[in-house]
Structure 1
Amino acid sequence: MNEEEIKVLSSGDKSGVLQILEKFLKDNENVFTFPNLSMNNNRVSLWAALFQLIQEPSLESVHAMCLSALRILSRDKLEVDAIVCEKWIIILIDKAGLFNFLNIDDETRPVEIIPQKEEAIEALKCLCNLALNSEVSRALCAHTAIAQGLVARLRSYKDIPYKDDIMLFDMKLLFILTALRQDISAKIKSELHGMDYLISCLNEIITEASVDPDVAGACGGVTGDSHCFLQDNQQAIICEILKIQFNLTLQNSLDDQVDEEEEAIYLRLMPVLTTLLSAHVSTEQKLHELRNNIVNVLVSVPSKFYPYLTPDFNEGEKPQYVYDTKNMESIQSLIQFLLHRLTITTNTSNQNEYLCPILTVLNKSARSCRAHRKYLRQEVLPPLRDVSRPPEKGSTLRNQLCRLLTTPITAIRDLVAEFLFILCKEKVGRMVKYTGFGNAAGHLAQKGLLSGGRGPVVYSSSSEDSDTEEYLEAQPHIDPVVGCTRPPRVNPFEGMTEEQKEYEAMKLVNLFDKMVSTGVVKPARVGPDGRPQPLDHVLEMREHPPNRPQS
């Protein structure tokens, strides 16, 4: 936009303004930077002209177009911090209709408070861009009543005829503000009780979601089930709400201690998450997106509330996955999500991002609830049959997790090892049986269990480790280090004279000595605490024979 066009906008000539705005919107719908506006202070002049037009009641017909132009301009981060001011932020909040819902009684809500659709949505989009791109804008928002307005409108969506559109961008704005402004997040959580209203919104969407058995079957469910089917717009709104809830609960993730108010919130939240984990959506991609956001929220949920993911099923219900009278569909959904994440994790660079949340959730689930652990055990570590291949070879869930036991990403390695260790009831022998001692050695060394035994947690006394006939037959031939049987090998010393054997042995000794002296390896033994202890010389191992792990 050139200087002449900006002057026309500043003049307020309606026909000229309309023509210029139409051309600008058409030409720049997919443009994200405007370097030409940096000349002659054109950027400031253009923003000022547009806000001046928005404040002119006689030009109400072009207000939506002005807001659309501001929405496009606000994509560009350049000079935004220097341009934006509190007055403009307040104008956008007002146009978004957020001030209308303050101090409005739930019982007597006049129709006049409903904002115009086009103006409200464009203003919200503009606020989203500014909040995302400008620290100054976020600070200005923190000094307004935007948080109060957004939370107040959470109670009023049923009165807005175009609620899906406005709700989506309300949630996007709330997510950005709670993610990037800790003071706004704290206010929404503590003062405004935002979690309560967000959970109510989720419940309303679930209630409105259609229950269509045919659609559910087409989306991967069982024909005749009663799972809700979320439309695309409902799925998008729910994902944004879950992102906000993640921001609001994130600070609790390291502490399982909750007060009465937080406990009440989690007791309301868990049934909602349980329902959403079993919900159907239109595409597999949207399903993974939904489950990803649910998992992120569950990371921050204290372990004591995890049993609520698997309620007892009522008479007449026919859940697809059941264990010990519990509906295990939520846990099965988490397993399916883990399998998906393992499939798309192609290298170590994205392991943390893709796997850390779901592994954390499964760890908490297995440790917090006996039924969860047993169900996960039968899905992840079923009774062994074919032990001819190492545990890390193959495509089963156990195989894929065993491969991660040697990943260089220590956070993932530790989470996987702890998960498998919990499923093995923290028994060293059982862990070695399913993973091989080589894969498990690092984790056992960290826990001081290289010499065998079990962890400090006491589990149920039932064994639940019945061996198959195939495993019992192969057991005498299993090498516990690699966790599988090995084919008979030719004796390398066969046909050698004693002198040749001694020569080869000395070569091996010299190689070991060279590695030790150059620091490539350091000899160690398992100490009384079950952890490796370094030795000054390999000959010390003759004085203290190493403890062998129980297999």
Structure 2
Amino acid sequence: MDLTNVLSQLESADGQDIETLLREYNRENSRTFTFDPKEESLRSKLCQSVLVVLGMKVQPSCQKTCLETLRILSRDKCVLAPIATRDGVLTLARMARLNAGEMAGDEQGRPEESTQSEEEESVVVEALKCLSNVVYNSPAAQQVSVDVKLAHGLCAKLRASSACPHEVGLFTLRILFLLSALKADLSEQLRKEGQAVKLLTEVLERTLGVSWEGPYEVARPDPQATPLPAEDNERVMEALKALFNLTVSSGGKEEEHQYRLITAILRHLLMLRTVKEEKTEEVHSHTINVLSNLPVPCMDVLIDLPVQGGVEAYGGKNMDAIQVLLDFMEKRIDKGSNYIEGLTPVLTLLTEASRHHREIRRYVKAQVLPPLKDVKTRPEVGTTTRNKLVRLMTHVEMAVKLAAAEFLFVLCKESVDKLCKYTGYGHAAGILLNKGLLGGGRGETEYSDDEDTDTEEYKTAKPFINPITGHVEEPMPNPMDEMTEEQKEYEAQKLATLLNKLSGQRLIRPMGVKRDGTLAPLEETLHVPHEEHTSGSDTD
């Protein structure tokens, strides 16, 4: 459709004609929309005209069609100026039934309507989709949204709409996530107020159907229960993404109770399964991201489950959630791509949990670094978790290899000797250099004295293990064994000639060790002071 004709017809058309005209435009452009620079000003004018129509009293079906047009146009970042204004954002907020902080009149503080027709509900959904696009693509709209306190309207909608339709709840959460991600000052404000974190926690409780068996203990999911539905999974992920932004800077003691509640819900989420395996992995990824933000002392909620029982060997703690984290880590390693975003968060989480919780460290070490038996294979060769992590210690991405090395270092209780035992000095040199421990010793963290016994196989082979490679090497043949005496003499003379040549060209210089332990030219180290030769001569 020619945009000039569309604009001219919009000026004189009534509600029904506007709806017909825009519906045809949407049909032609919904899938084949192109960003023609020549039509940029016309598309911007169309945005303005559609906003004018939304300000008029038109039927819900016409409102929906207008919002669909704006949603299509909002894909183009260059035409959003008319929408990215106070009036534009407030118009969309009114269509979405959001009580933004600066909306005047009876809109302010209006309760969520309990009954909406299907047509009215579709208008709300389209308005939320429009807002989502506009907020994502326009920095100006992001600032306007902060100014009119749109986030407070979103929170009010989530609080009032406990049984809201799926798409309404989904896009409300998505816009809150976008604002908290794109406007750091808003995220900090919402975190300090505390209500948004609490609200998102309640959204997770509602969506997951959480029931509590203790202060920080969620009832075990029924093994026979159906997997988490796809729609619930989508809302959970949007809530987790927003929660991640609001917990980047964890608070103090006064927020510890709230964070422990979140940890308990996240543990419950780790134990759930969705209808598709890839969706389960995705929601677990978001769960791990949020767990990484929470204070480390809260991690004891993951294992301290008296009602659900535990493992006697690890202080009676329940290690089911930790095993899920380990399984997730190995899946991400095996995937072989996107290690920085996909693998480093779970490595960091397991590292910090192991550093501060003895039972977690002991369990993780038993799975990742079991007692050594095979000492003839290089540490990086094989299919065990240890082999995979050692290979990552030489990864091209600095963040990946440091995360893998730190994880293994903590499992070894930050002992240089133990780390070299499991990885070889060559692999460990990088992290030891960063920590100033190339000469041996321990890190700064104090660890309990766990029993750490070596296997008989390791004890027998230990004297023959190459400390650099971390395994027993096959003895190399001596090249001189097959030489005659004349060949040996020839090679010795050849070596002496080369050394003399290099010394004469000052490319090498014989050095010795002085009494103070420093290196110096050989002639200086051989010089003996005169007084030492004549000591005691006065008494002759």
1:475 equivalent in structure 2: 462
Equivalent residue in structure 1 for 2:109, among 93, 103, 113: 103
1:425 aligns with 2:413: yes
1:425–1:90 Cα change, 3 Å: same
Alpha-carbon separation, structure 2, partners of 1:492 and 1:538: 33
CA contact (8 A) 1:81 1:135 kept: no
Q: Is the 8 Å Cα contact of residues 54 and 60 (structure 1) preserved in structure 2?
A: no
Task: Give the aligned residue type for 1:381.
Answer: L
Aligned-residue offset at 1:266: 0.8
Q: Deviations over 1:194-236 (max 9, x none)?
A: 0000001101111179xxxxxxxxxxxx997378832111111
- 1:168 touches 1:240 (CA, 8 Å); kept in 2? yes
| Structure 2 counterpart of 1:93 | 93
Aligned to 2:321: 330
Q: Deviations over 1:104-132 (max 9, x none)?
A: 67xxx653689921111111111111111
Consecutive unaligned residues in structure 2, runs of 5 or more: 101-106, 212-219, 527-540
**Structure 1 residues 311 and 394: CA distance shift in structure 2, 3 A:** same
Residue 399 of structure 1: aligned partner: 387
The answer to whether the aligner puts 1:466 opposite 2:453 as a matched pair is: yes
Q: 2:256 aligns to what?
A: 263
Give the Cα separation in 2 of the matches to 1:367 and 1:512. 52
* Alignment partner, residue 50 of structure 1: 50
Alignment partners' CA distance in 1, 2:244 and 2:161: 22
Deviation readout 1:462-491 (Å, 9 max, x if unpaired): 32x233333334333322221111112211
User: Of 481, 484, 490, which aligns to 2:477?
Assistant: 490
Q: Which residue pairs with 1:341 in the alignment?
A: 332
Q: Partners in 2 of 1:112 and 1:473 — Cα distance?
A: 78
Q: Which is further off, 137-146 or 9-18?
A: 9-18
Residue of structure 1 equivalent to 2:207: 205
Q: Distance in 2 between matches of 1:303 and 1:376?
A: 16
Query: Which amino acid letter does the alignment assign opposite residue 109 of structure 2?
Result: N
In structure 1, list runs of 5 or more residues that go unmatched.
210-221, 253-257, 526-532, 544-551
2:535 corresponds in structure 1 to: none
Query: For 1:140-159, what aligned pairs fall within 5 Å after superposition?
Result: 140-159=144-163
- The structure-2 alpha-carbon separation of the partners of 1:512 and 1:46, relative to structure 1 and needing over 3 Å to count, comes to farther
Contact kept in structure 2, 1:206 and 1:228, CA below 8 Å: no
Partner deviation per Cα, 1:125-173 (whole Å, 9 max, x = no partner): 111111111111111111113111111122122243x2x2111101110
Match for residue 276 of structure 1? 269
Partner AA of 1:236 in structure 2: E
Once residues 455 and 360 of structure 1 are traced to their aligned partners in structure 2, the CA distance between those partners, rounded to angstroms, is: 17
Separation of aligned partners in 2, 1:150 and 1:328? 38
* Contact residue 97 and residue 113 of structure 1 kept, 8 A: no
Q: What is the RMSD of the two structures over their aligned residues, measured on CA atoms?
A: 3.5
Q: Distance in 2 between matches of 1:476 and 1:326?
A: 38
* Residue 530 (structure 2) aligns with: none
The answer on whether the counterparts of 1:365 and 1:373 sit within 8 Å (CA) in structure 2 is yes
Query: What is the letter of the counterpart of residue 225 of structure 1?
Result: P
The residue number in structure 2 matching 1:528 is: none
Distance (Å, rounded) in 2 between the aligned partners of 1:334 and 1:324:
19
1:443 maps to 431
Shift of 1:102: 5.8
Larger Rg, first or second structure (1 or 2): 2
State whether residues 44 and 80 of structure 2, in contact with CA within 8 Å, keep that contact through their aligned partners in structure 1. Answer: no
Cα distance in 1, alignment partners of residues 304 and 224 from structure 2: 16
Indicate conservation of the 8 Å contact 1:71/1:129, yes or no. yes
- Map 1:231-242; keep pairs closer than 5 Å: 231-242=229-240
Residues 402-413 of structure 1 aligned to structure 2 (within 5 Å): 402-413=390-401
Matched-pair contact (CA < 8 Å) for 1:414–1:443: yes
Task: Give the CA deviation at 1:338.
Answer: 1.2
TM-fit CA distance, 1:83: 5.7
Is contact 2:233–2:274 with CA below 8 Å preserved after alignment?
Answer: yes
Residue 291 (structure 1) shift:
1.5
Give, in whole Å, the separation in 1 of the partners of 2:187 and 2:474.
61
The Cα of 1:507 is off from its aligned counterpart by 8.9
